[in-house]
Structure 1
Amino acid sequence: MAVNTKIALVTGSSRGLGKNMAIAIAKKGIDVIITYNSKKEEADEVVKEIENLGQKAASLQLNVAESNTFDSFLENISLTLKNTFKTDKFDFLVNNAGIGIHNSFVGTTEAEFDQLTNIHFKGPFFLTQKALSIMNDGGGIINISSGLARFSFPGYAAYASMKGAIETLTKYQAKELGERQIRANVVAPGAIETDFGGGAVRDNEELNKTIAGVTALGRVGLPDDIGGVVAFLCTEDARWVNAQRIEVSGGMYL
């Protein structure tokens, strides 16, 4: 086992896109810490899958909506780094955890707005800020956005606004953390067949057809279309990619 194995922390990675990212990262020879909100058994299965690939892995509980828990979470990360990975710092942070709330601009409630803000903007903002103390110089931040920050699809005004905020934040992170050689980039998936947002894209045949029809490559995205792009950003091949928004949508709404 190489002494210099890198370590990535992927939030919300017990299922869906996050799981796919974590496994794709492990296939690059990088160890992975995954987080889950409530699905501990699913997280443990992902850990086993990563270990079967020959990499070290661990899972920890995290609700990114509760920023008051971040200090204790990072203490747990430090213990895990020491006990499982025999080190004191990690290299890559993938801010993936999220939920989808579908509601019109007019219908969005303040409670929904606050929930989306806490999960998609405040959470990643302060988790990243606090994690910097245990991140290695020369590592990277990958913030997960959405194609909805570029094109509009009715019902996602609040969600997409948070993703727009994350995209702006990413540029500031790249600029201000450059002195530590920490890169910051955005990966913005298009519509993907997962259980996200109640699984509408996967399960609603009419919606699936509609999205395929406005996508240059003629189909809806799959989780396997996304993970490898995030994994690439955790490799030396991506060392000169910084402050970029990489949309992975098959060419939606061109």
Structure 2
Amino acid sequence: MPKPLDGKNALVTGASRGIGRAIAQRLAADGATVAIGYANRPDAADQVAAAITADGGTAFPLPAPLGTHGDAAALWAAYDRRITAHTTRTGVDIIVNNAAIGRSPDLHTITETQFDELFATNVRAPLFIVQQAHRRLHDNGRIINISSGTARLAMPDIMAYGATKGALDTLTLNLAQLLGPRNITVNSLAPGIVDTDTNAAWLRDDPDAQAWASSLAALGRVGRPDDIAGIAAFLASDDARWVTGRTIDATGGALLGV
């Protein structure tokens, strides 16, 4: 039986763990050939690719350290070398800009270097990944930028991180306008608090933190990576062909009464 993403090529950055891993696995389950972008954990990326292969999908690890000049060009050069070993179709159909520095110091302690690193990884890299993908990206393609609920909620302790996600949403809006004539959709997907390895230290083993985080969401629980992956799969599919330039709230209804 045909799958919704049969014959499609996908790149997911930051896919060796957490939300990126869940998205990569879901896109592969839906039929896509998936490049597992990673920065410094080749072992973890290999495990994701192996798990996808064991489930009958197609995936390969792709070294993709971000945050320095030339990072996007290096990523796509590696992609071009590796994609042909896994499919006869070149180019890319789905780009998921997920890799990011996930937190930031507060106003009183953040340094200029930390600020620059945040924007280089969370904003500059996605912009140039799309720029460098332009000749590789097929018509009717999909770009999904992983934003955050912090772009619309005041959270002063991590305000610089939130600012990067607000900037990413602005990129989404403009890229949707620019690429619309090619039937390429561009959307942001904004999770709230999700139970990932990144949040494990303060969330996973602390019942009080779990209760607090759950209380923020109208749906009464903390998000899971597969919650976000399901929405990403929809945005990547033909069913979402008439949705572009939008930021999709995936917070479980966080702070709706505020």
Q: Which moved more, 1:28-37 or 1:206-215?
A: 206-215
Number of equivalent positions: 254
* 2:169 counterpart SS class: helix
- The equivalent of 1:184 in structure 2 is 186
Mapped contact 1:9–1:32 kept (Cα < 8 A): yes
Alignment partner for residue 12 of structure 1, among 7, 14, 26?
14
- The equivalent of 2:225 in structure 1 is 223
What is the CA distance between 1:74 and its match in structure 2?
1.1
Q: Percent identity?
A: 38
- The equivalent of 1:119 in structure 2 is 121
Task: Note the 1:37-48 alignment, pairs <5 A.
Answer: 37-48=39-50
- The equivalent of 2:153 in structure 1 is 151
Equivalents in 1 of 2:23, 2:201: separation in Å?
19
- The equivalent of 1:108 in structure 2 is 110
Q: Does 1:202 align with 2:211?
A: no
Equivalents in 2 of 1:235, 1:160: separation in Å?
28
* 1:133 counterpart SS class: coil
Task: Note the 1:43-82 alignment, pairs <5 A.
Answer: 43-82=45-84
Equivalents in 2 of 1:50, 1:123: separation in Å?
26
- The equivalent of 1:136 in structure 2 is 138
Equivalents in 1 of 2:216, 2:167: separation in Å?
25
Mapped contact 2:196–2:224 kept (Cα < 8 A): yes
1:23-66 CA-partner distances (Å, limit 9, x unpaired)? 11112111211111111111111111212232221111111212
CA 1:210–1:102 in structure 2 vs 1: closer, same or farther (change >3 Å)? farther
What is the CA distance between 1:229 and its match in structure 2?
0.7
Mapped contact 1:193–1:201 kept (Cα < 8 A): yes
Equivalents in 1 of 2:161, 2:252: separation in Å?
21
Equivalents in 1 of 2:9, 2:61: separation in Å?
13
Structure 1, unaligned stretches of length 5 or more?
none
1:58-115 CA-partner distances (Å, limit 9, x unpaired)? 1111112123132232122112122221222110000000122342223221111111
What is the CA distance between 1:189 and its match in structure 2?
0.3
What is the CA distance between 1:204 and its match in structure 2?
4.0
Equivalents in 2 of 1:161, 1:45: separation in Å?
33
Mapped contact 1:67–1:126 kept (Cα < 8 A): no
Structure 2, unaligned stretches of length 5 or more?
none
What is the CA distance between 1:198 and its match in structure 2?
6.3
Mapped contact 1:12–1:98 kept (Cα < 8 A): yes
Q: Which moved more, 1:195-204 or 1:88-97?
A: 195-204
What is the CA distance between 1:135 and its match in structure 2?
1.1
* 1:178 counterpart SS class: helix
* 2:134 counterpart SS class: helix
Mapped contact 1:102–1:197 kept (Cα < 8 A): no
Which residue identity is paired with 1:243? Answer: G
Which residue identity is paired with 2:79? Answer: I
What is the CA distance between 1:197 and its match in structure 2?
5.3
What is the CA distance between 1:200 and its match in structure 2?
2.5
- The equivalent of 1:250 in structure 2 is 252
What is the CA distance between 1:174 and its match in structure 2?
0.3
* 1:200 counterpart SS class: coil
* 1:155 counterpart SS class: helix
Q: TM-score, normalised by structure 1?
A: 0.94
Equivalents in 2 of 1:234, 1:214: separation in Å?
28
